[in-house]
Amino acid sequence: MNISNNNHLNTFDLPNEILFIIINKLNIVDVFYSLMNVNERFAQLIFDRLYIQNFDITVMTMNSFYDRTFSVHEQVLSRIYENILPKIHDQIKKLAIEQHSIERILTFNYSQLYSLSLVNFKEEILFQYLIDYSILRDLLTQQITHLNIDIQNDKISELSEISSNIFILILCLCKRLINLNFCQLFSYRNSSISIYKLPKTNCTSSTLTELKINVATFDDCLYLLYGRLDNLSKLVINVKKIRYQPLKKTKWRKLPKLKCFSLTSINYTHDYDKHIIPFLRRMINLEELILFLSVIRIDSTFIGGIELYNKVLIHMSHLNKFIFSINTGILIKNNKIDVPSNEDIQHSFNGKEYAQVGSYVHFEPRTPSKRSGYKLPKAVVKCHIYSLPYQFEIFLHLNNSFQGGMFVKVWCLTMTDTYPFEHQLFKIISHDFPFLKELNICNGEPQKEKQHRSTLINFPHLNLLNLVEAHVDYAEQFLIDTNTHLPCLLDLCIQYESLAMITNNFTNDATRLYCAKLKELHIDKPFVRSKHFDEYFPLLL
């Protein structure tokens, strides 16, 4: 029915194609709950076969950056269970559910279901379901080919042995499993599992071809590839620490079936030359390689285009896609090295069939330590090389030598330097990283150009600001609303002394706006709340 009686365009005047595009942008739970009984036309749209085959019964509520809930309101869930699922359950092909609704939702017969996402489960509860809940076990054994697992981690970076056992149990249960995403469903989660000490016979699957997983060590990565995943062709792995401890009685072999490999580690490693390079050379039929690494070398050279080609790419004759972001930190202790310019680094990529590459070089002299027996490096030279357009969601170790560019996919940025970050650089950052959600600043030097803060800097999407390792000047830069606009700030990490100073013991009106909106405050040490603290932070959870 068209209820529009004037010249102004009404929602009901839009063609079905446009309405369907709009509906697809909305959460399916909200769509069914709000639009099912509007009129017959909307009912036909939302019950369209193509729309209902991917049914996500999770609604994320962002309490703070790390504290998010996925539960559906009981009234909404009851309506879905009683009025919607009885009509469409046999047409659903992909289903996403959270912990509190699993028993009600899985009571229906999903005859076409092949993809299942278990979202925001506590590890002990999920493990119990996998052991005792026959409906879930039957689905995993007989139907599911694509499985996504998301486990609550409560800010703990490494999950317990229970989660490792969940991973092994899934491989045993899922007889038809082709694609498994284990703890990489949401990028803000940083939880990982450790599996390399488990018997190899437990890590077995003859059907799995694609795996995404977060693991604790490089040995976990080796365990997966040299275990019983014989048909694995794609591995996307995030490694917490690349600190190699050789496995006993391991026979290293080539990996001819692996076609796509992605290795990400946000922590610095010393083992790049000794272990990562030989490891990559075993992937003789690789077609796609993605590397996100931070490497420390001592009295050595940078990782550049010539070295990457001669040590890695030349051994991969089938490679047609190479995406990378590699930070190299050279500790100069005894020798003097020639510090290459950014032009030298760029030149190293010429003629080697690379796509466009971004880079910058940064030199930091160090003051000799006065502590007896402790020898600091004479200098640290840093180089960051990355393929363009930048494809990663994280950008690490940005410093004052940053060359600029557009980084529209980045949501997490870490800035580190021994020279101060000035207002002008933050202005560049706000433009070049337009969708930034998390910003970590490590800089103990006071700013020198405070008088130039004439323009308001805008970070429209920033949720988390970490200033624990930052001078108090950066708290002034960000928390005074006349300097920086932070409409979405939820979490603040900061030293207590800096917070008390910038807020004038929680009485300063210039910082009150952002502090009053905070949902979580992470202080570096315990403290006694003053009488003004609670009214200054009224929304703290």
pLDDT at 479: 96
Does 189 reside within a domain? no
User: Which carries the bigger pLDDT value, residue 412 or residue 336?
Assistant: 412
Total domains in the fold of the chain: 1
pLDDT at 2: 47
> Which residues fall within 8 angstroms of residue 510, CB to CB, at 6 or more apart?
480, 481, 482
Does 65 reside within a domain? no
> Which residues fall within 8 angstroms of residue 99, CB to CB, at 6 or more apart?
118, 119, 120, 121, 122, 125, 126
Pairing type for strands 146-151 and 179-182 reads parallel
Q: Is the pLDDT of residue 526 over 90?
A: no
Residue 328, H or E segment: strand 321-332
Find the DSSP H helices in 340-437: 342-347, 423-432
Does 439 reside within a domain? yes
The overall longest dimension of the chain from CA atoms, in Å, is: 86
Does 134 reside within a domain? no
What is the DSSP-derived secondary structure letter of residue 540? -
- 213-252: b or e for each residue (b if 16 or more CB lie within 10 Å)? bbbbbbbbbbbbbbbebeebbbbbbbbbbbbbeeeeeeee
pLDDT band at 373 (very low <50, low <70, confident <90, very high): low
- Look at 39-53, 133-147, 356-370 and tell me which has the smallest mean pLDDT: 39-53
Does 353 reside within a domain? no
Q: Is the pLDDT of residue 192 over 70?
A: yes
Report CA-CA distances (Å) from 243 to 114, 117, 443.
37, 32, 27
Q: Is the pLDDT of residue 475 over 90?
A: yes
Q: Which residue has the tokens 């950014």?
A: 342
pLDDT band at 4 (very low <50, low <70, confident <90, very high): very low
State how far the Cα of 241 lies from the Cα of 219, in Å rounded to an integer.
10
340-349 long-range contacts (CB < 8 A, ≥24 apart) are 340/302, 340/304, 340/383, 342/401, 342/403, 344/304, 345/302, 345/304, 345/305, 345/383, 345/385, 348/304, 348/305, 348/306, 348/307, 349/304, 349/305, 349/385
pLDDT band at 3 (very low <50, low <70, confident <90, very high): very low
Average pLDDT, the chain: 88
Q: Which domain holds residue 502?
A: 393-540
Q: Identify residue 48 by its one-letter amino acid code.
A: D
Which whole number is the average pLDDT over 267-288? 93
Q: Is the pLDDT of residue 376 over 80?
A: no
Q: Is the pLDDT of residue 238 over 70?
A: yes
Share of the chain above pLDDT 70, in %: 87
Q: Is the pLDDT of residue 374 over 80?
A: no
Q: Is the pLDDT of residue 58 over 50?
A: yes
Determine the straight-line distance between the first and last CA of the chain, rounded to whole angstroms: 47
What is the DSSP-derived secondary structure letter of residue 101? G
Does 45 reside within a domain? no
Q: Could you tell me how many residues make up the chain?
A: 541
State how far the Cα of 468 lies from the Cα of 491, in Å rounded to an integer.
12
Considering 57-71, 151-165, 384-398, the range whose residues carry the highest mean pLDDT is 384-398
Which whole number is the average pLDDT over 280-284? 92
What is the DSSP-derived secondary structure letter of residue 275? I
Q: Is the pLDDT of residue 1 over 50?
A: no
pLDDT band at 481 (very low <50, low <70, confident <90, very high): very high
Which whole number is the average pLDDT over 323-333? 92
Q: Is the pLDDT of residue 70 over 90?
A: no
Q: In what order do the strands lie in the sheet with 115-121?
A: 54-57, 94-98, 115-121, 146-151, 179-182, 210-217, 234-241, 260-269, 288-298, 321-332, 379-387, 357-365
Q: Is the pLDDT of residue 506 over 50?
A: yes
What is the DSSP-derived secondary structure letter of residue 353? T
pLDDT at 449: 85
pLDDT at 338: 75
Q: Which residue has the tokens 């003097």?
A: 336
Q: Which residue has the tokens 């080796």?
A: 222
